[in-house]
Structure 1
Amino acid sequence: MLLTLAWGSLFFPGLFALCTWGLRRARPEWTGYDCVMISTRLVSSVQAVLATGSGIVIVCYCKNVVSDRHWLAREYVWFLIPYMVYDTYAMYLCEWYRTREQNRRYFLTIFRNFLSKNRLMITHHMAILLVLVPTAQRLRGDLGDFFVGCIFMAELSTPFVSLGKVLIQLKQQHTLLYKVNGILTLTTFFSCRILLFPFMYWSYGHQQKLSLLQVPSRIPFFCNVANAFLIAPQLYWFSLLCKKAAQLFDTPSAEKDG
């Protein structure tokens, strides 16, 4: 546990510092905010790839979705804790650079802007650290590694979300890459963050010889509540992605009509 925490505490901030340094050297014309923001997205994508890979390994290994165990289900959670702490600071650092470049240097102003713009993501990070980590590491006992692996796989959409934000920052919204990435973002987000929950219910029902509709009444009530809290922000974020996608593909029609 301690060694994994230590590795995570070194890996994510170290990778962020390395990416920022490399971008400043390779692209001296970019602003400090550009370098920091893109580095943050790169680190998020690396974490997502690691989490998704861990999730795939766990899900493929656990034939019994309730009782089978895999060491990654617990070990990667310890590795994830430093990332959540780092990512919160990285979001603040992005806001600090962005605000500084607009000649507003007051700490309280920056901090208020940070809390206002990132309140949902901060709440998400705090929920993971204060609720999901204790649940995954202690409260569930020796059961449910399969479902922990499923939650890890939800990160598959993150690299596409990050690439979209980087392309926006670089003013590349008009490119084919941005449109293709938008489609991949919607597809992976819907598959791995929305359909993931019916899949977990179906997997349990398949093993217990239950229909999908029977599963909610046969599992502990708090499991249904936890899943509801997990899927609610995903539905909200997916609605935002759909709105952005609609605007993107409506633009050519609007220009043509004009």
Structure 2
Amino acid sequence: MDRQTDSWSILVGGCLFFPGLFFFFKRTLTQLGCNHGDATTASARAVSAVQAIMASSAGVIIVTSCEDVMRDRHRLQVKGHEGRVGVGGYLRRELLLVLHHLFMVLACCPASLFCRQGRGDFFQGVLFLAELSTPFVCLGKVLIQFQQQKTLLHNLNGALMILVFFCCRVLLFPYLYYAYSRYLRVPLLRVPLEVPWPCNLGAGLLMGLQIHWFLLICRGALRLLLRPATP
């Protein structure tokens, strides 16, 4: 009962903390002279980056403290975009992103907080590490928003974003199966047969999205590199 109360407290706290942080950033940027659209977009990126730093920090702490990947416990859990288009236009343009976050909120979050039966903190921590790439993604979009895409900072951030995104989002799912294969002491290819089918389905859907976004990032970077220099 205490654990369930704890989970609800975390959920309610996140629902209050992140919107409050968004309005704080937005008000600060507006007072600094940003227009409404820029302040809204930059604030959303800032909140996303803060959430990512918190989640990945929690992931590092959890992963490094769990020896038994199924039974060791470490109760630290955290989870929490453009203001210039209408809701309909945003949904059409960012449908995959919206579906991804709906899946995280409606399926992954309840499963993480209430359905794990006290097991799998290690895997929860590894999933938090996916957020390591988010600050780089957000910084890149903010730099583009303020027309700083030709700067050294943007180029350096782009290179780091590609590397971190590949390691922490694309390779993350094969690593989860590898860690579980070591726990079960079975060959890696047998692991999908040993886990419940909803886990395989969820991992497949999430990994497919990560690969899709990684290819989009690489295509954007390639287009930037091949673009002829402006005289």
Structure 1 length normalisation: TM-score?
Answer: 0.81
Measure the CA separation in 1 of the matches of 2:43 and 2:61.
27
1:141 corresponding residue in structure 2: 117
1:54 aligns with 2:58: yes
> Deviation of residue 10 (structure 1)?
2.6
1:18 aligns with 2:21: no
Q: Which region of structure 1 is more displaced relative to structure 2, 183-192 or 115-124?
A: 115-124
1:69 corresponding residue in structure 2: 73
Which string of whole-angstrom CA distances, capped at 9 and with x for unpartnered residues, describes residues 187-231 of structure 1? 110000011111111112223333333323333333222210110
Runs of 4+ off more than 6 Å: none
Query: Which of 198, 201, 209 is residue 233 of structure 1 equivalent to?
Result: 209
Point out where structure 2 has 5 or more consecutive residues left out of the alignment: 1-6
Measure the CA separation in 2 of the matches of 1:58 and 1:203.
15
Q: Which region of structure 1 is more displaced relative to structure 2, 3-12 or 116-125?
A: 3-12
Which string of whole-angstrom CA distances, capped at 9 and with x for unpartnered residues, describes residues 82-138 of structure 1? x3xxxxxxx3xx33xx24xxxxxxxxxx23212212221211121112211232233
> Deviation of residue 55 (structure 1)?
0.8
- Residue type of the alignment partner of 1:165: K
Give matches, 1:1-258, under 5 Å.
1-26=7-32, 28=33, 30-72=34-76, 76=77, 79-80=78-79, 83=80, 91=81, 94-95=82-83, 98-99=84-85, 110-251=86-227, 254-255=228-229
| Bigger RCO (CA 8 Å, 6+ sep) | 1
1:105 corresponding residue in structure 2: none
Q: Which has the larger radius of gyration?
A: 1
Q: Which region of structure 1 is more displaced relative to structure 2, 115-124 or 176-185?
A: 115-124
What's the C-alpha RMSD, in Å, of the aligned pairs?
A: 1.9
Inter-CA distance 240–6: structure 2 relative to 1 (3 Å threshold): same
Structure 2 length normalisation: TM-score?
Answer: 0.90
Q: Percent identity?
A: 40
- Residue type of the alignment partner of 1:203: A
Point out where structure 1 has 5 or more consecutive residues left out of the alignment: 84-90, 100-109
- Residue type of the alignment partner of 1:190: F
Measure the CA separation in 2 of the matches of 1:44 and 1:135.
22
